[in-house]
Amino acid sequence: MPTKQLQFEVLLIAGIDTVGLARFPYLLHNAGCRVTLLAPPGLAIIKSRHVDCYLHSLTEPQALVLHLKDLLITRHQPFDLVIVGDEPTLIAVAEHRGETWLDNWFPVDHRSAAVDVILSKLAFQQAAIAAGLSMPYSELCQDWPEVEAAVLHTGYPAMLKASIGLSGSGVHKVCDSSELKSAYDQLAPTNQPLLVQQFCEGALGSTDVLFDHGVPICWQSSYSLQCWPTPLASSSARELMQHPDIEAMLLGVGKITGYHGFAGVDWIHEGPHLYLLELNPRPTPTYHLNRHFGVNFSHSLNQLLSGEHKVTPPKLIDQPTPLIRLFPQSLYWAVSNRDWRNFIFCWNDAPWRDPLLMGAYLRRVLTHFLPECWREKASRWLRG
């Protein structure tokens, strides 16, 4: 089999060990990209066979950002694309907004308010409502009395959200006054305004999307099921879906942000309507499922990097779709919950052609999910 020609140079930055990002180099490789990874040691993504060059960095976010800055300034030939793979690292990079080394690669205009819109749930909510996008009723609160008053208005259950969070962190569903006070006490030390949002009885879902300077050019949508490791975290299983409002929603998000690159848009489907929830300004875990949707993110990225602008909506879904159990998320769910059905079927999504990455995923089962006495034995065995 001939070696795939790599036309483009892409820099991928990872500061934390997010489960889904480790499969993202596969998409980049299939787009004709040579992948350089800048990351601290110990991350599963380092084991991906589709990482062509690994640059070791320190774990501390600001040290990682300074390494990134030096790399971009001193590199003779600029990268064709630079992707920050997680929110904590993107937030650390955004502290340098306005500096010239961020020009031409940061996902939004770093000299504009769009930086706050993509990084703050509160700023995003305000911008989306101002643009006429459909969102659940929300109130911005500065202190405990305002939170109490807002929940009296929305009623229980309600959602209490911090400005910044990752994979469900900073988000609490509260069903009574005691849960509300407990959630507030956890979020109040951030010294940031909090968002009280009306709870919608519907199916949660998300859309993986590739934007070209605010225009969605490729996307796929699915319901989020069996969230792991908490009920409000990322899903471990997906069900394909379509809705006539999704494209308009994505166009609206693109208009208020000017976003360029890969992102995820979360929503809730209640009755006939979709309500926008938030934007995840990073690659999401499920782009590799694109074959089920009749789209090809690798092809769309290759076209984008080649200077072409072509919109590729997902194919029509005219029949019920099977549940897709994500690997390794569904494996971790199965082990945590002793769910043998998930354990059996999650292997259908496993990256069998990336054996070292598979090994990194399976190692986590030994080190995180076994009883403590077993983990100690496993750790000694892994250390040789």
* Residues whose CB is less than 8 angstroms from the CB of residue 215 and which lie 6 or more positions away in sequence, other chains included: 251, 254, 309, 311
Block residue for tokens 């643009």: 131
Q: Which of 287, 135, 297, 93 is closest to 212 using CA atoms? A: 297
Residues 6+ apart with CB under 8 A from 103: 110
To the nearest 10 degrees (0 to 180), the angle between helices 246-257 and 121-130 is: 110
pLDDT of residue 195: 86
Rounded-to-integer distance, Cα 86 and Cα 13, Å: 8
Per-residue model confidence (pLDDT) at position 260:
98
Please give the pLDDT value at position 305: 97
3-state secondary structure of 375: helix
Q: State residue 263's pLDDT score.
A: 97
pLDDT tens digits for range 26-46: 999 999 999 999 999 999 999
How would DSSP label each residue in 32-45?
TEEEEEEE-TT-GG
- CA separation for the pair 352, 47 (Å, rounded): 13
Position 299: which residue type? H
Per-residue model confidence (pLDDT) at position 1? 38
Could you tell me where the DSSP H helices lie in the chain?
Answer: 24-30, 61-74, 87-94, 114-119, 121-130, 144-154, 177-187, 246-257, 297-305, 329-337, 340-345, 355-364, 372-382
CATH topology for 137-198 is Dna Ligase; domain 1 (3.30.1490)
Please confirm whether the linkage preceding 229 is cis (ω < 30° from 0).
yes
Tokens of 57: 């960095």
pLDDT tens, position by position, 65-123: 999 999 999 999 999 999 999 999 999 999 999 999 999 999 999 999 999 999 988 89
CATH number of the domain at 203-367, please? 3.30.470.20
Integer CA distances (angstroms), 133 to 24, 43, 274, 298, in order: 30, 37, 10, 29
pLDDT at 122: 85
Classify burial at 299, counting beta carbons within 10 Å of its beta carbon; exposed 0-12, middle 13-18, buried 19 or more. middle
Of 19, 63, 75, 64, the residue nearest 39 (C-alpha):
64
Distances from the Cα of 369 to the Cα of 166, 362, 376, 378, angstroms: 22, 10, 12, 11
What's the average pLDDT block by block, 10 residues per block, for the chain (384 residues)? 74 92 96 97 95 95 96 95 96 97 97 96 90 90 90 88 68 88 84 83 93 97 84 83 93 98 95 91 94 93 94 80 89 85 90 94 74 58 58
Q: Looking at residue 383, what is its pLDDT? A: 60
Question: What is the full DSSP assignment across 148-164?
Answer: HHHHHHH-SSEEEE-SS
Count of C-beta atoms within a 10 Å radius of residue 219? 26
Instruction: Please give the pLDDT value at position 140.
Output: 84
Which CATH number applies to 8-106: 3.30.70.100, 3.20.20.210, 3.30.565.10, 3.40.50.80? 3.40.50.80
Domain boundaries, the chain: 8-106, 137-198, 203-367
Q: Say how far apart CA 236 and CA 282 lie, in whole Å.
A: 18
